[in-house]
Structure 1
Amino acid sequence: MSDVRSVLAVQATLGEGPVWVERDQALWFVDIKNHKVHRFDPATGDHKSYDAPGQVGWILPSDDSTFLAGLQQGVARFDPATGAFDVIATPEAAIPTNRLNDAAVDAQGRIWFGSMDDGEGAATGRLYRFDRGVVADTGLAPVTITNGPAISPDGRTLYHTDTLGRIIHRVPIQDDGSLGTPSVFATIDEADGWPDGAVCDAEGFVWTGLWGGWRARRYSPAGDIVAEVRLPAANVTKIAFGGADLRTAYATTARKGLDADALAGQPLAGNIFAFQVDVPGMPGNLASLG
């Protein structure tokens, strides 16, 4: 793996949800607290941002050439051509203190996404499945902050993160799209920070950002730590694999929670970073609108 470099000086308050969109060879990500969706073309350096109508936890490409986004209000269809967000599902309309947080698409076009207590105090975060317009609670036990999820290359395992519990769970995905019984995949020591967004590479190894940990970490399918990449920012939120060969890892970071002294020691916090990896990521899937 090569040295880490800052590739976009965006200084996000809470950069999250990076996803490589193959159809336009660009990295898309969000800044949750600043209500922004971002698009970055590494080949040209072109950077665009779009205003979201509230906190936006994730952005994923859909099969109709638009995107789906996870807003605090619910799941929305986002059209970059117009900048419009149209809410199409409100799974937590009765929990206004929650917001949506992190998501992944499987090979069937289903979105697996979580929610969390925006105040980070109540165990009201749940994991949902969006399947062609229909949202269902997966039935996993609620936690305060959900993260991930990540899907294994064979589509049979979901990795679900309980951030404040410092646990990444392994959960079987059944043939009918229901989830089996979770088991502990990895626990993170207090000194290493909190597990944030996760993603699988082509070998089925799991990468996770570590909030407060200054690094991204790679786990084997058995749950063993096999590699770490240090970054010049404490709050590493998630990585995405991009580029023509999917061997460039892009990392989102955050300035949230850092005081003036902390920011003075990490002036690049909130930027997008990149480093090269030996094992590529997997080609991205498109969310199915049905």
Structure 2
Amino acid sequence: MADRARTVWNGAAELGEGPVWDTRDAALWFVDIKRPAVHRVDPADGAHRSWPAPAQIGWVLPAEGGGFLAGLQTGLAHFDPATGAFTHLCAVEPDRPGNRLNDATVGPDGVVWFGSMDDAARAATGQVHRWDGAQATVTGIAPVTITNGPAVSPDGSTLYHVDTLGGAIHAVPVTGHGTTGAGRVLVTIDPADGTPDGVSTDAAGNIWLGMWGGWSARCYDPAGTLLREVRLPAAQVTKIAFGGADLRTAFATTARLGLDPAALAAQPEAGAVFAFDVDVPGRPLPLARLRR
């Protein structure tokens, strides 16, 4: 399949992240963490809307009962696009004010898995958490400085999470009652190629990875074998989401963060959202559990 990327939105996000396709309105939703906002783009006509967020925002996920579950630096919240309101649900890591939430996904059962990180990217204080619709709990996964992902296998049996500074994708079994077993390193990234960012899984269980500083998105099979690499017009690729009518369009968020004037001149579309075609479709994302 030809690796031709097209621009969906060129709004120069400082730190574009958390792309998610919402089947309810056939649109792509994503966030800008550092210029805190929620964005919506309709790829059919390019229509764009945005809503300011009250704190750094790592992600929004379509939720049961309407609206979205949002991961803010201040904790989890319900986001209502009709009013723009964020309603606080629970604090996460209130004892670590230097941390923020970074990335998330929804498992087949509606459980949300999400990670935190040291906002200064120095201390190993980032944890992987689980939200069951009522409360957030810390998993037994060892803390790292920057968590990314997680992503869940189609059958819900494996959680993939990224240690960005450690340059690795880890595979962790999901056991009874949403607990996690002993993990293993699935993929190690050569620093010369960039650093691993967000991960997503497609319908076949392949793992798609955004390559920060790598100008690309990569696809690995569940055994960790590289299947495909798609080059993009921006260096800081953060995460992939699958959308469109048949879920065979991959959308990639990118960032301008950390780029000097020369780098920005060399990549005028840094911070844009790009799309390319995939032969294996994604999976409809389950609605996040939300008991209010």
Instruction: Tell me the residue number matched to 2:50.
Output: 49
> Residue type of the partner of 1:52?
A
Instruction: Tell me the residue number matched to 1:273.
Output: 274
Instruction: Tell me the residue number matched to 1:135.
Output: 136
Instruction: Tell me the residue number matched to 2:194.
Output: 193
- Aligned-residue CA RMSD in angstroms? 0.7
| Correspondence 1:1-290 to 2 at 5 A | 1-2=1-2, 3-290=4-291
The CA deviation string for residues 239-289 of structure 1, in whole angstroms up to 9 with x for no partner, is: 100000000000000000000000000001100000001010011110011
Aligned mates of 1:220, 1:154 — CA distance in 2: 15
> Residue type of the partner of 1:115?
S
3-state secondary structure, aligned to 2:178:
coil
3-state secondary structure, aligned to 2:176:
coil
The sequence identity of aligned pairs, in percent, is 62
Q: How many residues end up aligned between the 2 structures?
A: 290
Aligned mates of 1:167, 1:14 — CA distance in 2: 21
The CA deviation string for residues 8-62 of structure 1, in whole angstroms up to 9 with x for no partner, is: 1111000000000001000000000000100011112110000000100001010
Aligned mates of 2:284, 2:213 — CA distance in 1: 29
> Residue type of the partner of 1:126?
Q
Q: Give how far 1:108 is off.
A: 1.0
Q: Give how far 1:86 is off.
A: 1.3
> Residue type of the partner of 1:199?
S
The CA deviation string for residues 76-104 of structure 1, in whole angstroms up to 9 with x for no partner, is: 11000110111111121111000001000
Aligned mates of 2:149, 2:249 — CA distance in 1: 19
Aligned mates of 1:226, 1:44 — CA distance in 2: 32
3-state secondary structure, aligned to 1:176:
helix
> Residue type of the partner of 1:240?
A
Aligned mates of 2:227, 2:109 — CA distance in 1: 30
> Residue type of the partner of 2:38?
V
> Residue type of the partner of 1:244?
A
Aligned mates of 1:47, 1:21 — CA distance in 2: 14
Q: Which runs of 5+ in 1 are unaligned?
A: none
Aligned mates of 1:217, 1:108 — CA distance in 2: 27
Using the size of structure 2 for normalisation, the TM-score is 0.98
> Residue type of the partner of 1:44?
D
3-state secondary structure, aligned to 2:192:
helix
3-state secondary structure, aligned to 1:24:
coil
Using the size of structure 1 for normalisation, the TM-score is 0.99
Aligned mates of 2:55, 2:11 — CA distance in 1: 19
The CA deviation string for residues 96-116 of structure 1, in whole angstroms up to 9 with x for no partner, is: 000001000011111000000
> Residue type of the partner of 2:202?
D
Q: Give how far 1:175 is off.
A: 2.9
